[in-house]
Amino acid sequence: MIGENNPEINVDELMAKIRNEVAKRKGQPHRVIKSSDPDTSNLTLHLSYIESFLKNAEDRAYTRTKWPDKLNRFPFNLSKKLQKATLKLLNFLFKDQREINFNLLQALRESVVINQQLIAEISSLKTQINENLQTVDTQLQTTHERLQTVDTQLQTTHERLQTVDTQLQTTHERLQTVDTQLQTTHERLQTVDTQLQTSHENYIRNDSYVKNDLMQQQRLIGLFLEEARRRLPAPFDQEQLQTFVNEDEHLLDAFYVAFEDYFRGSREDILNRLKVYLPLIAQANIGTPEAPILDIGCGRGEWLELLRDSGYISKGIDINRVMIEQCQARALDVIAADVIDYLQTLPENSLGAVTGFHIIEHLPFKVLMRLFAETVRVLKPLGLVIFETPNPENILVGSNNFYLDPTHHHPLPSATIQLIAEISGLCNIQVMKLHPYPENQQVKGEDLAQRFNHYFYGCQDYAIVGYKHE
């Protein structure tokens, strides 16, 4: 409204100035806005001019009833009647214009009132802004002081943290030094522990060997003294001397037990290896009182223990007295006997299975042939045979590992044992290749590496599995 009546007053420009003034005061002490600022004074002055103009226009807009004094001069000094007539004519002619003028005057007066209200509101707004700016300025000042305090505290904290960080760094370096020392000590302790473990195992092995050997020596000396007591002062006859000769075969029993413990592995390892044969026993439906299992050269009795725990009837024979005593201590059915002599005492078709693990490589060829023949004789129809032996197809086994045991005769290729089994009357013969070297010991690669692994790191043992004809 003000802009329409007086082009010198621009409300948008005025509000823009107010906004700029507020923006300038942000972040700095604010100037107090007074009611006598030039902007408000100018607006009031302009409105006074407008009101005077409106007063003048209003006076001129009323119906004229009096001839103007300025027109009383020649040539307008008309007679009274003519003046009245002229005034009536003029009032009639400008009647609509007067109405328009009155409407415009009314509108302009309302505009002036509105502008006066706007000026009052602007003044009130300035006062509020001034108060708000004063409050904000006080708050900013307080905040600034607090920020300065916080900044000081942060600086102090930062310095303390730097001190703590330095101390932590020093402590970390010391801990690293201590950790290195502990690691070195731990490695040394591990080395000592390994040495102690090895020494402990050697001690146990040697202690077992010494005890067993002493028991054999004591038995031999006791036997000799008993025979001497019976015969003295008469000389020993041939039969008594043969008894001493037979006892000489058992002088190394304790040594061979220690040898087995050192090279063959722990009982737990052997038990886990032998579990592969349990499905064959179950499929053959043997291990019953009518079809018992005979394990020749039963050794420490791992296979007999596994069969017993699985609910099968079994019996073992061996010639090593120390091993027999160990088996009997575990409540296993084991007797001392020569394998051929014992088999010859059994009737035909009396056993469900004959097994032997790492036995046939100890036998001379003629004894090996008799073993197969007697085994087939004593088996029931469809009876099972399992003989496990070192695999000479593995070059490391055939050229080195096989000869670790000085009681071995010679390696037995699987094809040879398979042929002997067929000639002896077994059927459905299969060769089970067992116990390859761990993968981490094998060579990585394709065809050539695989062939190399087969011959050097392949299966260390094999088993001949066969059945008697119906």
The full DSSP string for 272-334 is HHHGGGHHHHHHHT--BTTB-EEEET-TT-HHHHHHHHTT--EEEEES-HHHHHHHHHTT--E
Distances (CA, A) of 288 to 308, 374, 384, 435, 465: 11, 21, 13, 29, 20
Q: Specify the DSSP element, H or E, that contains 360.
A: none
**Mapping DSSP to helix (H, G, I), strand (E, B) and coil, where does residue 432 land?**
strand
Within 232-266, residue ranges assigned H as helices are 238-248, 253-263
pLDDT for res 121: 82
Burial of 149 (0-12, 13-18, 19+ CB in 10 A): exposed
Q: Tokens 């050269």 correspond to what residue?
A: 297
Partners of 385 in beta bridges: 354, 466
Cα–Cα nearest to 434, from 290, 301, 272: 272
Q: Is the dihedral of CA 53, 54, 59, 60 positive or negative?
A: positive
Cβ atoms of 25 and 127 within 8 Å: the answer is: no
pLDDT for res 89: 75
- Supply the DSSP symbol for 437: P
**Which residue type is seen at 54?**
L
**Mapping DSSP to helix (H, G, I), strand (E, B) and coil, where does residue 446 land?**
coil
Long-range contacts from 109-117, C-beta under 8 angstroms, 24+ separation: 109/54, 111/1, 111/2, 111/4, 111/5, 112/5, 112/47, 112/50, 112/51, 112/54, 114/1, 115/1, 115/2, 115/5, 115/9, 115/43, 115/47, 116/47
User: Phi and psi dihedrals of 390, rounded to 5?
Assistant: -60, 145
Cα–Cα nearest to 396, from 448, 454, 464, 462: 454
Q: Tokens 């226009």 correspond to what residue?
A: 57
Residues in the chain: 470
Query: Mean pLDDT, 10 residues at a time, over the chain (470 residues)?
Result: 44 61 54 48 66 65 63 61 71 70 72 79 84 86 87 89 91 90 88 76 59 61 59 57 57 73 83 96 96 96 96 95 91 95 96 97 96 97 97 94 92 96 96 92 86 92 96
Strands 293-296 and 351-357, sheet pairing: parallel
pLDDT for res 133: 86
Spatial distance between the Cα atoms of 445 and 462, rounded to a whole number of angstroms: 25
* pTM of model > 0.75: no
Cα–Cα nearest to 306, from 280, 284, 338, 325: 280
